Amino acid sequence: MRLPRYATLAGVGVLALALLPAPPAAAADAQTVTVSTGRSVYLAAEGSRAPVDLAVSTSDGRPLGAAVTVRWTAGGGTATAGADFTADSGAVTFPAGSPSGATRSLAVTVRADGIPETAETVPVTLTAAGATVAARPTVVVDAHGLPYLDRRLPVSRRVADLLGRMTLAEKVGQMTQAERAAVADDPTAVARWQLGSVLSGGGSTPATNTPAAWVEMVNGLQAQALSTRLQIPLIYGIDAVHGHGNVYGATIFPHNVGLGATRDPALVERIGHATAAEVRATGIPWNFAPCLCVSRDERWGRSYESFGEDPALVVSMESVIDGLQGRRSGQLDDADRVLATAKHFAGDGDTDYDEATAAANEGKPWWEQKYPIDQGVTVTDRARFARIDLAPYGPAVRRHDVGSAMPSFSSVDWTSDGLGNPIKMHANPDLITGELKGRLGFDGFVITDWEGIHQIPDPAEPTNSGLTAYKVRVGVNAGSDMFMEPNTAEQFEQLLLAEVGAGRVGMARIDDAVRRILTKKFELGLFENPYASAANVDQVGSAAHRALGREAVAKSQVLLKNSGRALPLRPDASIYLAGRNADDLGNQAGGWTITWQGVSGPDAIPGTSILDGIRQVAPGARVTYSADASAPTGDAQVGVVVVGETPYAEGYGDVGGPECGWCSVPQQEEKSLRLQPADRAVVDKVCAALPTCVVLVVSGRPQVLTDQLAEIDALVASWLPGSEGAGVADVLFGRRPFTGRLPVSWPRAEEQVPINVGDADYRPLYPFGWGLRTDRGRDRLAALAADRPQLGAALAPAAWHADGSLRDAPRILDRLGGQLRADRGNAALVDAVLAVARDAAQDAVVRGDAPENWAALLADAEHAQLSGDPVRAFTLLVRVAR
C-alpha cells in the first residue's frame, strides 16, 4: 500500500521533536490556563448521577504552575430543581503540577419522579479564578416513559405518538438538512434550528480526515440534536458513490460504469455491503447512492455514475441496494448497513446536449461557462420516459425497498404538449408525488439535491438564484420531504413556517413528510443508539474490502481487441510501461474521491496503482516505466500504455463544458471524447517502437481512438478502477480471465454520440455487451454437464480448437440451444451457454465473417439476456456466429 510522502515526513518530524531535550520551565505567571469540558451535552437517565468531565490545558503545554479551582453550579434550565435534579454546587481543584490535559469530573444528581416527560435541561455554570472557562456544559435529563421511546411498540405507533407531540417548528426542523461546514463552528445551531439532518458534501471532512475523527464529529453534532426536548436524533448523510470516497484510507471501488461491466449482481451486492460497513463505521447511517440513471450520452459529466445505457442493466445492478440496506426487513439498524438513496429521479442521464451552450462556452473564462448537458432537459414523450428513465425505479422500490430517493437537477419537457415548457424535477408533483409515491408505492422519504429547489424558476423573481417563498412552497408541495439546504437551512425554515402560516402549504403535507423521515430514523435504530461507536473503524479500508475491490476491478476490465492473443502477458515479459495513468491513483479513482471533483496525483489516496499492481503480480517481469515515453525502450518486447482521463464530476465533466479552474492542473484540461493529444502521442510512439502494444484506457467513458486502432494489438477499457490497481494487473497477466462486457456502446466517431442499443442506425466501433474473454468456454460448460446429454455431446474435444474456440460452431450451437431451451431456468447454465455463443459471434466479427448488422444483433442479444429472454439472446448471437 502506498502512503503519501508527506505522511512519512510528518512522522519523522514528530519523532525528532520528541527526542529534543525539554526547555527549562517557564515562570508560572507567564502561563495561561483554559478549562474545558469533554462534551457540551451530557445525557442522563432519571435517577442517575451525570458525570461532567473537566479538563485543564496550558498555553505552554507545561504542568500547572499554580492550583486552579473550578467552581460549579447546576440549574437555570428547563428542569425543575428539587423535582428533576438536585440543585447543587461545588468545587473541583487541579493541584499545581497537574499536567496540561489533566481531567477531573463533577456529578449532577438527577432525580426520579416516575412521571413520563420530554427531555429537560440542567445547565452547569463554571467559574475559575486565574483561568479561562471555555465551555458551559448542559446535562440533559432524557425524555422517558413516552410511547415513542418504547422499542416494543410498532414503528407506526411510535411515529404517530411522536408526531402528535411535535410543534410546527420542530416538524419543519426535521425537514431541513444543513451542511457540516455550516454548523462546524457553532454546533449549537443543530439544536437552535432543530435540524433533522446534516450532510457532508464532496470534500467536506473533519479537520483530521480519519475514521475516528468522523465518529467524533458526527457524535458531537448528534449531542446537540439530543439536547432538544423530544431528542429526535440527527441522521447524517454522505455521498459514498464508489466506496466511502470522502474518507482518507477508505476502499475506493470502481465507479458504477465499471461495476456495470462486471455483469455480476452478486458482486455488486457485496460491494454495497462493504461500502455500508465502512460508512456506518464512521458514524454515518445514510448514503446518497446508488445512482440509477440510464446514461444515454457519454458527453455527460456524470456518465460514469451510471451502470450503463440500458435500463435492464441498471435494474440488474440494483442488488447494490440490498448490500447497503440488507435484504431482510429490520436490518437497517445493523452496525454494517445504511439507508440507501435512489437517485436522480428521473431522467438525468437522458438530457439533451445543448450544442448552442457548448459553442457559446468557447473562448470564455471557465467561471462564465455553462453546463451543456448536466442539469439539462429531457425532451421526450411519456411512453419513452417510462421505458428508459423511470424503468429502474419500480424495481428499486418494489423489489429492493429503497429507503430514500433524490430528485434530479434536470427538467422534463413533454413532447405531447409542445416544446419549450420544461418542468424542473424538484417542482414536479406529477412525477414525485403521483408517480414515485403514488403509482410506484414509494414509502420512504424524498431528499432534495444540493440546493435543488433554488433552481425552481420564480415568476416574480426570475433572476433570483437563491431561496424564495415561492420556491419553498412549490418544492414542498411537489412532494420532497427533506430539503438539502447546505448554507441556508435557517432561511428555509423561516420561509416554510411562513408558508404554512399563510395556508399555502398544508399541515397534511408537512405531517406526511415528517412521518416518512421519522419512520426511517426509527428503522435505523437511531432512537435506541443515537451515538456511533468507534469500535468498527478498522472496517475502513480493511484487507477484506480491498480484496473485494481488487476482484471487482478485474471483473470490470473489458477486452475490446486482442490481436495475436497479445493478452494475457507472460509473467516474465520484458515490458515498457508508459502513459500518465499508469502510476496515478488520483486519475485511477476519478471524481468523488477525497474531494467533489477528485484530484490527480500518485499520492491522492492510499492504494495500489496499475504500475504497483504489475510489479506485485508479476515480480519476474522486467518493467521499464516512463510516463511520457521519453525513456529508451531498450530490449522490451511488449509496450503497455495506460492513458485516459483526469478526474471530474458533474457539469465540470461535460464535454464542451467548463473546466475546473480550482482543481489540480491536470484536471483543467478540456473534456473530450477523444484521448488528449499527449496521450495519443504516447500511444503512437510506443506502438511504433515495439512488436506488441497493449493500450489501457482509464476513463469514465469511452474514448474515440478508431484512427489508432490498427497500431494497437490489445485494447482494454479499464474504466475508473479505484484504489486497487492490482486487479488490472491480475487480468493482464492471466491470474484472472477477462470477462467484462461493455456497459455502454463504444463509438466509432465523436459524431455518432449519442449512440445506444436499439438505435435504428447502430454502427459503433464496439457494441453494447462486447467483451472478449480469455478463459475457455468449454471449461465453463464442463462444470454443468452432469445429467445433460446435449451439453455432454457438445463438449467432445474434437468440437473445439486448441485455443478454446469452436471448431464446428453451427452444430455445437444447435446442441447448446436445445439444452438452453430445456433448462432456461438455470441461471448458471444460461450464462455459460450464452457466453459460448457470444464468443463464437465475436470470433466471427474478428474474422470478418459476420453479417453487416452484427453490431445491432450483438447489442440486441445483450439487451434480451438482461431483460430475461435468453432464448432470443441466443438466437441473435447464433445469427452473428453463422
Positions annotated as catalytic residues are 449, 650
Q: Which amino acid is at 374?
A: D
**870, three cell numbers:** 435468453
Contacts of 879 (CB under 8 A, 6+ apart): 851, 857
User: Rounded CA gap, 40 and 224, in Å?
Assistant: 8
Q: HSE on the CB side for 347, CA within 13 Å?
A: 29
Distances (CA, A) of 773 to 323, 548, 558, 569: 28, 21, 9, 14
SS3 percent helix, strand, coil of the chain, rounded to 5, is 40, 15, 45
Distances (CA, A) of 30 to 55, 68, 101: 20, 15, 18
Contacts of 781 (CB under 8 A, 6+ apart): 791, 794, 795, 816, 832, 833, 836
Residue the block writes with cell 470478418: 848
Query: Do residues 757 and 741 touch, judged by C-beta distance below 8 A?
Result: no
Residue the block writes with cell 515490458: 575
CA angle at residue 466 from 499 to 478, to 5 degrees?
45
Query: Do residues 850 and 844 touch, judged by C-beta distance below 8 A?
Result: yes
Largest CA distance in the chain: 98
- In eight-state DSSP terms, residue 297 is -
Sign, CA dihedral 699-705-708-714, equals: positive
**How many residues make up the chain in this entry?**
882
Query: Do residues 636 and 624 touch, judged by C-beta distance below 8 A?
Result: yes
**655, three cell numbers:** 464535454
CA angle at residue 646 from 640 to 648, to 5 degrees?
150
Q: What beta strand segments (E) does 391-549 contain? A: 404-407, 411-414, 423-424, 445-446, 483-484
Q: Which amino acid is at 297?
A: D
